[in-house]
Copies of this chain bind each other. A is one copy, B any other.
Amino acid sequence: MAETIKIAIAGYGNLGRGVETAIAKNKDMQLCGVYSRRSPESLKTVFNETPVYSIDELINHRDKIDVLILCGGSKEDLPEQGPLYAEHFNTVDSFDTHARIPEYFSSVDAVAKANNRTALISAGWDPGVFSINRVMSEALLPDGETYTFWGEGLSQGHSDAVRRVEGVADGVQYTRPVESAIEKVRSGSRPELSTREKHERICYIVLKEGADQEAVRQTIVEMPHYFSDYNTEVNFMSAEELARDHKAMPHGGFVIRSGNTTDANAQIIEYRLKLDSNPEFTSSILVAYARAVYRMAKKGQFGAQTVFDVPPAMLSSRAPEELRALML
């Protein structure tokens, strides 16, 4: 492993920290710097030796950076940063607004192609490795149904929603797949499952002083889009209990393909993630895909890319001969 891939991080929240940590676990990579909107002095990195710069310096450093990992959010940051930085860098991001992926892909693709850059969008686990399993398992078993279950895990969007309810001081929301639904799918029977039958929602709420517990519960369970289609359990606790028991960010889920090769023979493909930390795992995936982006750029495979375009070998630090000899 002669080459070292030089990586930079744009944006330093949970994801940026996770990428900093993940790079240290990949011997063929080197972190050139963290670039943030915050002042470099105020920013506390995981490793003392990590260079920190103002985001304003990023484009000036472009010749020192092989791949830039965009660690901003999908709502505000990436729609702007994706096309902006694809002009100057090979990039990877975790854009995860499923409905807007085609539009985002086009905007990044135009810039990346015009500038001979490789820009891989929407890496992570969903979109990401879950998507790979949806595509591959459908291709391997064309006569079948694919089921995606999320959880048990902390949902950021739903936690935000409960915290906006009047009378709520703080709170979190967990999504949990219904175990009996998973068992039905695993049986090969290809059940039709309603939203309510697939997932349930569990909330842990700290009330504001004087708030009406029953009114809060009612508002949550009846909230359209977020909760009204689910069975929702609402629990109340103190701020101390919430801080003690619910500050981790576990997540995970299942992609299950149930198919038949003949009427007599059902075949089940199941991919499961059980994650202690959702952002750290996403970061670790971004770093593996940065390796692939580096290699695709070297091969001249420019433009926007997704996880669907990356052969497994490109993710690995091992040489192709070693992969064939040891892992095939």
Contact = CB atoms under 8 A, between A and B. Distances in A.
Interface of A: 18, 21-22, 25-26, 98, 101-102, 105, 122, 127, 129, 131-132, 134-136, 138-143, 186, 188, 252, 261-262, 264-277, 280-281, 283-285, 288, 291, 306-313, 315-318, 320-321, 323-325, 327-328
A135 B127 CA distance: 20
Contact of A324 (B105, B320, B328): B105
Contacts of A328: 98, 101, 122, 127, 131, 306-308
A252 B22 CA distance: 32
A218 to B, nearest CB: 36
A97 to B, nearest CB: 11
A79 B270 CA distance: 33
B262 A268 contact: no
Given A274-B268, A324-B105, A280 B261 contact: yes
B262 A266 contact: no
Q: Which of A131, A138, A261, A272 has the most CB of B within 10 A?
A: A261
Q: Which of A273, A275, A310, A311 has the most CB of B within 10 A?
A: A311
A261 B21 contact: yes
A132 B277 contact: no
Identical chains bound together, number: 2
Given A129-B140, A140-B285, A265-B277, A135 B316 contact: yes
Nearest to A95: B328
A200 B277 CA distance: 34
Nearest to A276: B265
A16 to B, nearest CB: 14
Contacts of A318: 135
B186 A274 contact: yes
Given A272-B272, A309-B313, A327 B267 contact: no
A323 B142 contact: no
A266 B261 contact: no
A321 B103 CA distance: 11
A270 B269 CA distance: 11
5 contacts: A139-B315, A139-B317, A264-B276, A268-B272, A271-B271
A142 B310 contact: no
Given A266-B276, A267-B276, A272-B270, A139 B316 contact: yes
Contacts of A324: 101-102, 105, 306, 308
Nearest to A127: B328
Contacts of A320: 308-309
CB-CB nearest 6 A-B residue pairs: A261-B280, A265-B276, A139-B315, A308-B313, A265-B277, A268-B274
Contacts of A310: 311-312
A262 B279 CA distance: 12
B135 A313 contact: yes
B261 A141 contact: no
A128 B210 CA distance: 61
A74 to B, nearest CB: 13
Contact of A26 (B26, B142, B313): B142
Contacts of A323: 135, 306, 308
